[in-house]
């Protein structure tokens, strides 16, 4: 039976690229289902409309996708079961008859526009920039506009789907530009032997040394934290939740012990998922 996988659509997004990469490595048969927003993807998984979903969580240039974190904590009850790192290559796509120097308008997702800011300024300093909810939607918009003066920043996959021409390849300002995507489902996955655990925690009361005491529980057990950041807790100004990624699986004794001690200091400790980690960013970029 084919696995149904939700992704941020329409067809041709980087999220679809990540979803197909994950599916090819893990499933013999799968069906791809595009959804309009990150929230729609996560809600579809939570409601069991699909078996799993793929959403972006951070970009090496633009940082965290905060909507993904907020939904994982406040809106849905799902588990992270995997991660995929995709190198980001933005191409300027337009109609076959379009001349690069005649482009007056460029449309794409806000993060794509930001990641190509310098090259756009150099190549098309007078072009008007327009935002779309995804890179693929931008390519679709240019295709449907029949306007040879409009171009989109999009993927090679979107170019193939919508039949546009690459006016300028590799528009991203950084050659190391990459995005990390999370794969989520209703059920957790067993330990693989090379895992990462994502957690969120918040303190009972605001007092000096809270974060120090929390992080100490991981340090004394030689558990490496690979990411730590805060987000508003949605209760009152100055009240924050902390998101952390750490090496190891939640079923491993050192991780369990650290989380048990963390519970004593916190009003909230939630495991968002333990999953096989993409071991090296450089390996994923090859």
Residue 1 scores a pLDDT above 80: yes
* C-alpha–C-alpha distance, residues 155 and 91, integer Å: 6
Q: Please give the average per-residue pLDDT across 100-124, as a whole number.
A: 95
pTM for the full model? 0.88
Asked whether the beta carbons of 50 and 37 are under 8 A apart, the reply is no
Query: Is the four-CA dihedral 42, 45, 50, 55 of positive or negative sign?
Result: positive
For residue 42, is pLDDT > 90?
Answer: yes
Q: Annotated catalytic, 179? A: yes
Residue indicated by tokens 């008007």:
128
Residue tagged active-site, from 179, 201, 203, 243:
179
Look at residue 276 and tell me whether its pLDDT is greater than 50: yes
Q: Is there a catalytic annotation at residue 242?
A: no
Question: Would the pLDDT of 284 be above 70?
Answer: no
pLDDT surpassing 60 at residue 112: yes
CATH architecture assignment, domain 3-88+177-187: 3-Layer(aba) Sandwich (3.40)
> What pLDDT is attached to residue 207?
87
What's the mean pLDDT in 49-62? 93
**3-state DSSP assignment of residue 97:** coil
- How many angstroms separate the first and last alpha carbons of the chain? 32
CATH class of 91-168: alpha beta
Over 60: is that where the pLDDT of 286 sits?
no
Cα–Cα distance measured from residue 50 to residue 32, given in angstroms and rounded to the nearest whole number: 10
Give the separation between CA 198 and CA 218, rounded to whole angstroms.
13
Q: In the structure, what pLDDT confidence band is assigned to residue 61 with cuts at 50, 70 and 90? A: confident
Catalytic option among 14, 35, 181, 243: 181
Order the strands of the 225-232 sheet from edge to edge.
225-232, 240-247, 195-203, 266-276
Q: Is the Cβ–Cβ distance between 228 and 243 less than 8 Å?
A: yes
- CATH fit for domain 195-276, picks 3.30.70.260, 3.50.50.60, 3.20.20.70, 3.40.50.10680: 3.30.70.260
3-state DSSP assignment of residue 271 = strand
Q: Tally Cβ neighbours within 10 Å of residue 101.
A: 8
């Amino acid at each position: 039976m084919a696995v149904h996988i939700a992704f941020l659509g329409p067809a041709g997004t980087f999220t679809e690229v990540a979803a197909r990469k994950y599916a090819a490595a893990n499933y013999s048969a799968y069906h791809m289902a595009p959804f309009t927003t990150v929230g729609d993807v996560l809600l579809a998984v939570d409601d069991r409309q699909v078996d799993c979903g793929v959403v972006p969580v951070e970009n090496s240039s633009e940082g965290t996708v905060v909507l993904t974190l907020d939904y994982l904590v406040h809106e849905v009850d799902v588990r992270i079961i995997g991660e995929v790192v995709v190198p980001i290559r933005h191409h300027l796509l337009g109609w076959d008859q379009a001349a690069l120097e005649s482009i007056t308008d460029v449309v794409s997702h806000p993060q794509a526009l930001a990641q190509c800011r310098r090259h756009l300024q150099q190549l098309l300093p007078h072009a008007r920039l327009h935002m779309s909810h995804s890179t693929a939607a931008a390519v679709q918009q240019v295709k449907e506009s029949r306007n040879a003066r409009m171009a989109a920043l999009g993927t090679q996959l979107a170019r193939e789907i919508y039949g546009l021409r690459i006016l300028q390849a590799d528009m991203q300002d950084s050659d190391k530009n990459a995005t990390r995507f999370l794969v989520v489902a209703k059920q957790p996955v067993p330990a693989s032997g090379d895992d990462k655990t994502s957690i969120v925690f918040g303190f009972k009361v605001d007092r000096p040394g809270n974060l120090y005491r929390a992080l100490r529980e991981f340090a004394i057990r030689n558990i490496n934290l690979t990411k730590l950041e805060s987000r508003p807790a949605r209760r009152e100004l100055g009240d924050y939740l902390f998101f952390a990624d750490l090496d190891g699986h939640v079923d491993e004794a050192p991780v369990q012990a650290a989380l048990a001690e963390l519970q004593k200091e916190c009003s909230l400790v939630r495991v968002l998922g333990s999953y096989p980690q993409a071991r090296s960013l450089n390996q994923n970029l090859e």
